[in-house]
Amino acid sequence: MENKRYYGIDVGGTTVKIGLTENGAVLDKWSVPTDTSDGGRNILPDIIRSLPGPAAGAALAVPGAVLPDDTVNRCVNLGWGVCRPAEEFTAVSGIPCRVLNDANAAALAEQRLGGGKGFESVLFVALGTGVGAGVVLDGRLRVGARGTAGEIGHLCLDPLDTAAACTCGHTGCLEQYASATGISRLAAQAGYPGLTSKQIVDAAAAGDGKLEAVVDRACDALGRGIASACAIIDPETVVLGGGVALAGEYFRAKVQAAFDRYAFHACLGTEIRLATLGSDAGMLGAALYAMDRP
Amino acid sequence: MENKRYYGIDVGGTTVKIGLTENGAVLDKWSVPTDTSDGGRNILPDIIRSLPGPAAGAALAVPGAVLPDDTVNRCVNLGWGVCRPAEEFTAVSGIPCRVLNDANAAALAEQRLGGGKGFESVLFVALGTGVGAGVVLDGRLRVGARGTAGEIGHLCLDPLDTAAACTCGHTGCLEQYASATGISRLAAQAGYPGLTSKQIVDAAAAGDGKLEAVVDRACDALGRGIASACAIIDPETVVLGGGVALAGEYFRAKVQAAFDRYAFHACLGTEIRLATLGSDAGMLGAALYAMDRP
């Protein structure tokens, strides 16, 4: 029966999460440490050694850009440059393999099984160190012609805000306001250096007016960016995930209010929902991707 | 053989352009005046009366919002409110009919037969009185969950620019800078009131430095908006159409340069092309849409 089984493999900077799935159900899951030494060359052998047996397919969710032909274009956190890990994985394991971006994997999982369940078109936005994203249309993940589909984190919101220099080389990207890093940056600007985004959102929710203004500014940027993305792809719904979104309804409601302020009138009514799969989303999405495109 | 024939019908504010096509080739084309009197109730009967015979299908391209179920949500220029013209068309003519937005129709035509030929995913941007747009992915037109897919004209570029109040109710929409109306507005702001966008672009191309600065500002906004859209949908290519784009390579090169300034690095290399089908694009796209979704 192993030919209906798929491995979903979420390769993070410190841990690799692996799940063995059958018809979308997780039969078993485990993890292995990510050995980033030596250009990350032990990562794939370590993963393959941990697998209990053959399968119909596998997919690797990785923290970096992936081109539509499964070429990885750098994963700084893994030590990988431009490489083709699916080929190496298949050559050693004998298991057909695909590669996708980790936020894209989470998008697919949240659309099928999580916060976007019941919708065929979903914009997923993951608020972590950066802002990741993914687009599912007609029930299928869209990676785009160059693998950037959904890259809402680099929408240019304010090209003149020189305080918001982005790692991408531009200025005023959404990521500089709405990621965990961005929220901490805004708080530091407001006179509260050294706080994590969780500390900031918790204090704001507990009634700190100055930090609430910081959170409002982050949510305003995020709502405006999501409004732009919805004008372009017009999904049925939007799902917010990642660490920052763990702040829950307090944060979601602020993003929804900002979206409603900026949205093109025909997009009003688009609901912003919270992700539900937590840190399993990448692994689950990778397994679904392997099933979709064996 | 009439069951392979499709009518493409582009319903404009003054003229309806109609084409009879077979396998994508135009066998005949003609037009009828648009009678907007009496809430536009004569438009469909006038069209149907002009048809030479039965066909396998038809589609109406209309200047307004169309929901995915073919409900029209107002066409101010036609006198139509919320209505379902495809049903009326079919009831009277016996020909299966669909409805789509006119810029969406032009997008499909340009992707299959025009400036985007050879590409499966295209963002089309039409610069006219407003900024229309359409998205083709995997060779199929995507209208979105609420019919707004591609609505690049209402990307919010500068929410604080109160001089750029948009008809949509917001401030600082792309349309306020890059449409024919927007370019005239920017020129008036710069001390040149009463000029058409064609006069402005022609004078700029002929060496008027102040008007070139106006055109540069319009192209900067358009390039930034296209860069945002490409980060989200990541098409293979972008096609510029509509009256303003008739300015040709002078205008295109400026938009490409602005795109290259703002684009997310992975999107660099996306080429902006000029539309080639002119004013037939809506009619041709409607016929293709009728063929795609009979």
Q: Which long-range contacts (CB under 8 A, 24 or more apart) does B73-77 make?
A: B73/A266, B73/B147, B75/B11, B75/B40, B77/B12, B77/B13, B77/B36
Residue of A nearest to B261 (CA): A170
pTM of the complete model beyond 0.90: yes
Average pLDDT over all residues of chain B: 94
Express as a percent the part of chain B with pLDDT over 70: 99
User: Chain A contacts of B74, Cβ < 8 Å?
Assistant: none
> Can you name the residues that pair with A59 across neighbouring β-strands?
A8, A98
pLDDT digits (tens, 9 = 90+) for B158-172: 999 999 999 888 999
Structure tokens that stand for A260 in this block: 């409603």
- What number is the average pLDDT over the span A31-52? 97
How far away is chain A from the Cα of B192, in angstroms, using its nearest Cα? 26
- Provide the 10 A C-beta neighbour count for residue A12: 18
State whether A95 and A154 are in the same domain: no
pLDDT of residue B2: 45
State whether B180 and B252 are in the same domain: yes
How far away is chain B from the Cα of A147, in angstroms, using its nearest Cα? 7
Residue A57 maps to a domain: yes
Average pLDDT over all residues of chain A: 94
Question: Please, what is the end-to-end C-alpha distance for chain B in angstroms?
Answer: 16
User: Chain B contacts of A235, Cβ < 8 Å?
Assistant: 144-145
What is the count of structural domains for chain A?
Answer: 2
User: Chain A contacts of B131, Cβ < 8 Å?
Assistant: none
State whether B124 and B213 are in the same domain: yes
State whether A99 and A161 are in the same domain: no
CA pair distance B260, A173, nearest whole angstrom:
15
pLDDT digits (tens, 9 = 90+) for B211-257: 999 999 999 999 999 999 999 999 999 999 998 888 899 999 999 99
A18 is in which domain, residue-wise?
A: 2-104+280-292
Residue B49 maps to a domain: yes
CA pair distance B106, B126, nearest whole angstrom:
8
pLDDT digits (tens, 9 = 90+) for A17-30: 999 999 879 999 99
Residue B3: band (very low, low, confident or very high) from pLDDT cuts 50, 70, 90:
low
Residue B234 maps to a domain: yes
CA pair distance B61, B100, nearest whole angstrom:
5
Is A236–B65 a contact, with Cβ atoms under 8 angstroms apart? no
How far away is chain B from the Cα of A133, in angstroms, using its nearest Cα? 9
Contacts of B285 (CB under 8 A, 6+ apart): B8, B61, B100, B104, B105, B106, B107, B108, B109, B110
Residue A110 maps to a domain: no
pLDDT of residue B224: 96
Is A233–B269 a contact, with Cβ atoms under 8 angstroms apart? no
State whether A123 and A251 are in the same domain: yes
Radius of gyration of chain B (CA): 19
Largest Cα–Cα distance in chain A?
Answer: 60
Is A149–B233 a contact, with Cβ atoms under 8 angstroms apart? yes
Kindly tell me the burial class for residue A61, based on how many C-beta atoms sit within 10 Å of its own C-beta (0-12, 13-18, 19 or more).
buried
Residue A2: band (very low, low, confident or very high) from pLDDT cuts 50, 70, 90:
very low
Query: Mutate which of A228, A268, A271, A272 to disrupt the B interface (most B C-beta within 10 Å)?
Result: A228
CATH (domain of A47)? 3.30.420.40
User: Chain A contacts of B146, Cβ < 8 Å?
Assistant: 234, 266-267, 269-270
B44 near B85, Cβ under 8 Å? yes
- What number is the average pLDDT over the span B1-15? 87
How far away is chain A from the Cα of B29, in angstroms, using its nearest Cα? 33
User: Chain B contacts of A270, Cβ < 8 Å?
Assistant: 145-146
Is B149–A227 a contact, with Cβ atoms under 8 angstroms apart? no
Residue of A nearest to B120 (CA): A145
Q: Nearest by CB to A145, which of B121, B156, B168? A: B121
User: Chain A contacts of B229, Cβ < 8 Å?
Assistant: 232
State whether A271 and A288 are in the same domain: no
How far away is chain A from the Cα of B142, in angstroms, using its nearest Cα? 8
Q: Which uninterrupted H or E stretch holds B18?
A: strand B15-22
Is A224–B159 a contact, with Cβ atoms under 8 angstroms apart? yes
State whether A129 and A263 are in the same domain: yes
pLDDT digits (tens, 9 = 90+) for A241-251: 998 888 899 99
How far away is chain A from the Cα of B254, in angstroms, using its nearest Cα? 18
Q: Number of A to B CB contacts under 8 A, please give it.
A: 122
How far away is chain A from the Cα of B182, in angstroms, using its nearest Cα? 18
CA pair distance B251, B208, nearest whole angstrom:
15
CA pair distance B68, B293, nearest whole angstrom:
12
- What number is the average pLDDT over the span A229-240? 96
pLDDT digits (tens, 9 = 90+) for A133-180: 999 999 999 999 999 999 899 999 999 999 999 988 899 999 999 999
State whether B63 and B97 are in the same domain: yes
State whether B140 and B264 are in the same domain: yes
pLDDT digits (tens, 9 = 90+) for B224-237: 999 999 999 999 99
Residue B65: band (very low, low, confident or very high) from pLDDT cuts 50, 70, 90:
confident
How far away is chain B from the Cα of A26, in angstroms, using its nearest Cα? 31
Residue B110 maps to a domain: no
B/e letters for A39-50, b = 16+ CB within 10 Å, e = fewer, are ebebbbeebbee
Is B135–A236 a contact, with Cβ atoms under 8 angstroms apart? no
Is A151–B266 a contact, with Cβ atoms under 8 angstroms apart? yes
Residue B91 maps to a domain: yes
**Highest-confidence segment of B146-150, B168-172, B203-207:** B203-207
Is the pLDDT score of B27 beyond 50? yes
Q: Nearest by CB to A148, which of B151, B169, B264? A: B264
How far away is chain A from the Cα of B171, in angstroms, using its nearest Cα? 9
User: Chain B contacts of A227, Cβ < 8 Å?
Assistant: 156
pLDDT of residue A244: 84
Higher pLDDT pick, A238 / A266 = A238
Residue A160 maps to a domain: yes
pLDDT of residue A76: 87
Residue B125 phi, psi dihedral angles, 5° rounding: -125, 120
pLDDT digits (tens, 9 = 90+) for A86-138: 999 999 999 999 999 999 999 999 999 999 999 999 999 999 988 999 999 99
Is B148–A267 a contact, with Cβ atoms under 8 angstroms apart? yes
| Interface residues of chain B, partner chain A, Cβ below 8 Å | 65, 73, 121, 135, 137, 142-152, 154-156, 159, 168-170, 224, 227-236, 262, 264-267, 269-270
Is B145–A262 a contact, with Cβ atoms under 8 angstroms apart? no
Q: Which uninterrupted H or E stretch holds B45?
A: helix B43-49
Q: Nearest by CB to B65, which of A224, A233, A266? A: A266
Is A233–B270 a contact, with Cβ atoms under 8 angstroms apart? no
How far away is chain A from the Cα of B48, in angstroms, using its nearest Cα? 30
Is B232–A234 a contact, with Cβ atoms under 8 angstroms apart? no
User: Of B23-27, B82-86, B99-103, B137-141, which range is least confident?
Assistant: B23-27
Residue A164 maps to a domain: yes
CA pair distance A13, A79, nearest whole angstrom:
9
State whether A69 and A155 are in the same domain: no
State whether B71 and B120 are in the same domain: no
pLDDT digits (tens, 9 = 90+) for B264-281: 988 999 999 999 999 999
User: What ipTM was estimated for this complex?
Assistant: 0.92
pLDDT digits (tens, 9 = 90+) for B67-115: 999 999 889 889 999 999 999 999 999 999 999 999 999 999 999 999 9
CA pair distance A167, A165, nearest whole angstrom:
7
pLDDT of residue A1: 44
Structure tokens that stand for A12 in this block: 């993070």
CA pair distance A284, A24, nearest whole angstrom:
8
Is the pLDDT score of A65 beyond 90? no
The per-residue DSSP string of A94-156 comes to: ---EEEEEHHHHHHHHHHHHSTTTT-S-EEEEEESSSEEEEEEETTEEE--TTS-TT-GGG-B
State whether B184 and B166 are in the same domain: yes
Is the pLDDT score of B1 beyond 70? no
User: Chain B contacts of A69, Cβ < 8 Å?
Assistant: none
pLDDT digits (tens, 9 = 90+) for A138-149: 999 999 999 999
The per-residue DSSP string of chain A comes to: -GGGEEEEEEE-SSEEEEEEEETTEEEEEEEEE---HHHHTTHHHHHHHT--S--SEEEEEESSEE-TTS-EEEEGGGTEEEE-HHHHHHHHH---EEEEEHHHHHHHHHHHHSTTTT-S-EEEEEESSSEEEEEEETTEEE--TTS-TT-GGG-BS-TT-GGGB-TTS-BSBTHHHHSHHHHHHHHHHTT-TT--HHHHHHHHHTT-HHHHHHHHHHHHHHHHHHHHHHHHH--SEEEEESGGGGGTHHHHHHHHHHHHHHS-GGGTTPEEEE--SGGGHHHHHHHHHHHH--
Residue of A nearest to B134 (CA): A232
